[in-house]
Amino acid sequence: MDTNIVLDLLGERDPFYKPAAQILSLADLRKIRVFTSPTSISNTHYILSKFENKKTAIEKIRRFKLLCEISIMDDEVVDKAINSDFTDFEDALQYFSAIASQCDIIITRNEKDFKQSLIPVIEAEGYLKMLKMD
């Protein structure tokens, strides 16, 4: 789950909140596993803290963390991101973190930024539609 989806969820940003919440509900029911990166957690806290008090922001992250796992962010992930052809460094970190954690898909609202991805990249609504087909 990319940073923008985590922000949609925790910031309750319309019209994107509902699909993000539905995905996390599936994780709560243990129908899927959701991962996000340490970068997403940090960026989400930073942005939420600008609009809410820090205590509220950290509490939202604490509750979110109960339903997701943190993807790998190590030397290898950072080195691959540094040496990649991604134009956005954060997206490179997200991508290589997802690969290192053996994620099957990246859920984001910035599909265009992951053109080089070897795993599917999809928006939250598309992911939910895909699950209904399976």
* pLDDT bracket for residue 132 (50, 70, 90): confident
CA pair distance 120, 111, nearest whole angstrom: 9
Q: List, in order of start, the domains of the chain with CATH numbers.
A: 3-133 (3.40.50.1010)
**pLDDT per residue over 66-113, tens digit each?**
999 999 999 999 999 999 999 999 999 999 999 999 999 999 999 998
φ, ψ (nearest 5 deg) of residue 63? -65, -40
**pLDDT per residue over 25-54, tens digit each?**
999 999 999 999 999 999 999 999 999 999
Find all residues with CB under 8 Å of 86, minimum gap 6, and list them: 92, 95, 113, 116
DSSP collapsed to 3 states, the chain: CCHHHHHHHHCCCCCCHHHHHHHHHHHHCCCCCCEECHHHHHHHHHHHHHHCCHHHHHHHHHHHHCCCEECCCCHHHHHHHHCCCCCCHHHHHHHHHHHHCCCCCEECCCHHHHCCCCCCEECHHHHHHHHHHC
Nearest to 71 by CA among 43, 109, 100: 100
* pLDDT bracket for residue 133 (50, 70, 90): low
> What pLDDT shows up at residue 4?
96
Mean predicted confidence (pLDDT) in 8-37: 96
CA pair distance 121, 108, nearest whole angstrom: 7
pLDDT of 134 above 60: no
